[in-house]
Amino acid sequence: METQNAAYEGDFHGEHAIWLKHGRYEAAVLPERGANLILFRDLENGFRYLREPEANEMEDFIANPGIYGIPVLFPPNRFDGGKFAWEGKVYELPVNETDRGNHLHGFMHQLPWAVDYIKGDEYESVVVLSQRVRDGHLYKQYFPFEFTISLRYTLSGEGLQQHVTVTNDGQERMPNLLAFHTAINAPFVPGSAASDYTFKMTIGQRWEMTERMLPTGQFQTLSEEEESMKAEGVSPYFASMDNHYTAVPQDGRNRMELTDQRTGDVLVYDVGTAYKYWMIWNNGAGGKFFCPEPQINLVNAPNISDLPAEEMGLLGLEPGERWEETSSFYAIKRTK
C-alpha cells in the first residue's frame, strides 16, 4: 500500500519495481534489470535527478541499460581483448566492444538480482538486493570465484544512500573490480536549461588513453576547464568527454557537485573515498545528462604490470573478506 513513507513492490513502465518513498523523495529499483536504481525524484519540487527512461524509451533502456539510472559495473570499463591476469592466471571475458577489441562493463547491470529485504517506516525506506555467484551462475564461466555483491538503498529525509558490499565466499583470493555508471540529469530542475548548470568533481590527474580507450600509462595536462572542475566549477558540457581521472578527495570527501545557477539548487553525489578513480562521460556533450562514474580501479588494471597494484586500485579479497563503501545523494539550496 502506498503511503507517504513506504517501501513496496510495484510497476515502472511494465517492469517489476521496488518503490521507496519518504517525505518529498521517491526512488525505484528494477531487480530484474540489473538492480538498476532507475529514478530518484524530489516530488515537492518536481526534480528528477537521474536519467530515467520514459515509457516510450523502455526499449532503448533494455538495449542500453548502462546509460540510465545507476547501473552496476562488475568488472568496470574496458579489458584488453577481454583478458585479465590475476594471481598467475589469465581469465577471459567475451569481447563485447568489437570495434575496439575489448570487454566492456561486465554483465551485472543486465542480470536479475534477488530482493532480500524491503522495509519502510517513519525513519527510512529500504531495499536490499544481492547477486550470489555460485556454480551455475553466468559469471562462473568467466570469473570463476564465489562471491556476493549486496546493494542496500536507503531513502530518508536526508536523501538517498547506497551501501555496496562485495564478499569473497570462496577459497581463493579474488580481484574486486567495481564501478557505477551513474547517469545524472543536467538540467534536473523544470524550466532550467543545460547552460544554467556547472559541476565540480574531486579529480586529480587525467590518464592518457589509446584509440581503444585503454590507459597508456601517461598522464595528460589538464585543460583550463578541467582545472575549473576541481575548484569553482564548469559546464558539464564544455566539451565531449569520455575521460579517466584519478580521484583526489577534498576536505575528506570524494564527490561530484552539480549546481543550477539559475535557482541555486545543488545535487551532491558523495561517493566515498574507497573509489580511487572517476570516469566522466557526457554522451558527446549532448546537453541532457552526463555520467560521473566512481570506480575502484584503473581501466584495464589487471593487464598493467608496471604500476603498483595499490596505485591502480587493483584490490584483492581474501577468503571471507569483504569490501564495502557508502555513497549518498543529497540536496543543497544556495542563495545567490
pLDDT tens digits for range 277-306: 999 999 999 999 999 999 999 999 999 988
Whole-number Å distance between alpha carbons of 293 and 255: 10
Q: What is the per-residue pLDDT across 126-176, written as a single tens digit (0 to 9) for each?
A: 999 999 999 999 999 998 999 999 999 999 999 999 999 999 999 999 999
Whole-number Å distance between alpha carbons of 84 and 79: 7
Whole-number Å distance between alpha carbons of 220 and 175: 28
Whole-number Å distance between alpha carbons of 71 and 106: 11
Q: What is the per-residue pLDDT across 18-48, written as a single tens digit (0 to 9) for each?
A: 999 999 999 999 999 999 999 999 999 999 9
Query: Scanning the structure block, which residue is given the C-alpha cell 547477486?
Result: 131
336: confidence class by pLDDT, cuts 50, 70, 90? low
Tell me the average pLDDT across 211-226: 95
Contacts of 310 (CB under 8 A, 6+ apart): none
Whole-number Å distance between alpha carbons of 100 and 50: 29
| Nearest C-alpha neighbor of 325 from the set 158, 202, 160, 165 | 165
Whole-number Å distance between alpha carbons of 166 and 317: 9
Pairing of strands 159-168, 174-176: unpaired
Tell me the average pLDDT across 5-27: 97
pTM, two decimals, is 0.96
The predicted pLDDT at position 1 comes to 38
Q: What is the per-residue pLDDT across 62-89, written as a single tens digit (0 to 9) for each?
A: 999 999 999 999 999 999 999 988 999 9
pLDDT at 2 over 90: no
Q: What is the per-residue pLDDT across 178-214, written as a single tens digit (0 to 9) for each?
A: 999 999 999 999 999 999 999 999 999 999 999 999 9
Q: In angstroms, what CA-CA distances link 276 with 44, 49, 72, 178, 271?
A: 35, 24, 17, 11, 10
What is the percent of the chain with per-residue pLDDT over 90, rounded to a whole number?
94
Q: What cell was used for 77?
A: 570499463
Give bridge partners of residue 10 from the DSSP assignment. 17
269: confidence class by pLDDT, cuts 50, 70, 90? very high
Mean pLDDT across the chain: 96
The predicted pLDDT at position 307 comes to 87
The predicted pLDDT at position 3 comes to 55
